[in-house]
Structure 1
C-alpha cells in the first residue's frame, strides 16, 4: 500500500511538472528531462509512469478535462436560470484557468501545433456545453427577443476562449472583473427584460469564492 501511494504521488508530481513546463515552454520545446527535474524524480522514474511526452500530455489533458467537468457537470438548481448558470460557469472556468496550471496547460495543448491525434478537445467540450445551456435558455424564453441560442453561443464561446488564450500571457484577462465587464455589456442584449433584473454578472457567492 505504501509503495502504491508513493507511485501515485510520483505520477501526480510528474503531471503537475509537465503542465508547468508545457504552459511555460509549449509542447514542442518541452523536454522530458526538464519535466523530470521539475518533478524531482529521475528520467527512469518518469519513463516508468509515462512512455513518452505524448503520454504525459494526454495525462495533463485528461486531468484538465476532469477540471472542466467539475465546472460544467453540476445540475442547475431547481428553479435556477440557465443564463445565471452560464455566468457562474464562466467565472468558475476562468478561476480554474487562473489558479490551476494543469487546466490551463490542458487547454493550451488542445490547440498546439502540430496537433496530436489523441488530443482532448477541451474547447470543443466547453463549446458544446455552452450551446446546450443556451438552448435551454431559448426553450425557457429567457433570451431577448430576436436572439437565438446559436447566435448567443458564438458570442459567449468566442469571448471566453479569447479570455483563456489572452490570459496565458496576461492574467487580467481571466480576472473576475474582466468577466463582469463582459457580462454587463452582453446581458442587456442577451437576456429578456424580465430575466435581466435577476441576473448577477459577478456570479453567485459560491462561484466567486476565492476569485479576485
Structure 2
C-alpha cells in the first residue's frame, strides 16, 4: 500500500469514527479525542487530516451529500414515471439513512439549526421533490384540481423529514414498511385511479432497495 493509499484509508476511518460520534452526541458534545480513539489513531494523526472539529464535520457532510446525490441519480436513471421515481427515491434514501452511519450523521449535521454551512441536504431533498412533481405534471400524472405543487412538495418534505427525525429514537420510523405506508396514503391524493393502479408504494423492482443491489 502506498503512502497516499494509507493516508486515504486513515482519513476514511476518521470520517466514519466522527460520524458515529456526531450521531450519538451531536456536534456540540462530540469530542475530537473520542473521534481519534474510535479510529484507532493518535490525536496528531487526526489533526494532520483535519484542522478542527468543524473541518471533520464538513467532511462527514460532504461524504453524506455525495452518497445521497449518487443514489438519487441511480434511481432517476431507471426512468420510471415521475411519481414512481419519487417513491423509489424516498425508499432508497431511507435505506441509506438506516444503514450508513456517515449518511445519517451528515444529514443531521447539515440540517442542524446550530450550524451554517454551504450544504443543506434538506433543501436538496425539497428541490428533488419539486422537480419530480413538476415532471409528474408534465407527464399528466397529477390529479385534476390537486392544488399548488409547492404545497404538495412541502407536505411530502415535511412527512419524509419528519420520519427521519422520529427515527432518531426508533428506527422503525424509516423502515420500508413505514415508507410504504406513507406512499400508500399520499399517492391516492396525488393522482387518479388509472395512474394509481400502475404505481407501487413499496418501490418498484428497479429501486436499489428492492433489487438488493449495492447503493452507489
Tell me the TM-score range normalised by the shorter chain: over 0.9
Is residue 144–residue 193 contact of structure 1 (8 Å, CA) maintained in 2? Answer: no
Cα distance per residue 1:175-199 (max 9 Å; x no partner): 0000111111111111122210100
Count of matched residue pairs:
209
CA distance in structure 1 between the aligned counterparts of 2:91 and 2:113, rounded to whole angstroms = 28
Paired position in structure 2 for 1:6: 6
Structure 1 residues 123 and 113 mapped into 2: Cα distance closer, same or farther (>3 Å)?
A: closer
CA distance in structure 1 between the aligned counterparts of 2:90 and 2:51, rounded to whole angstroms = 35
Matches within 5 A, 1:102-113: 102-113=102-113
| Structure 1 portions without partners, runs of 5+ | none
| Structure 2 portions without partners, runs of 5+ | none
TM-score between the two structures when normalised by the length of structure 2: 0.92
Paired position in structure 2 for 1:167: 167
CA distance in structure 2 between the aligned counterparts of 1:199 and 1:121, rounded to whole angstroms = 30
Matches within 5 A, 1:65-104: 65-74=65-74, 75-78=76-79, 80-104=80-104
Q: CA RMSD in A?
A: 1.5
Is residue 36–residue 43 contact of structure 2 (8 Å, CA) maintained in 1? Answer: yes
Deviates more, 1:23-32 or 1:178-187: 178-187
Paired position in structure 2 for 1:16: 16
Paired position in structure 2 for 1:28: 28
Paired position in structure 2 for 1:204: 204
Is residue 110–residue 121 contact of structure 2 (8 Å, CA) maintained in 1? Answer: yes
1:140 Cα deviation after fit: 1.4
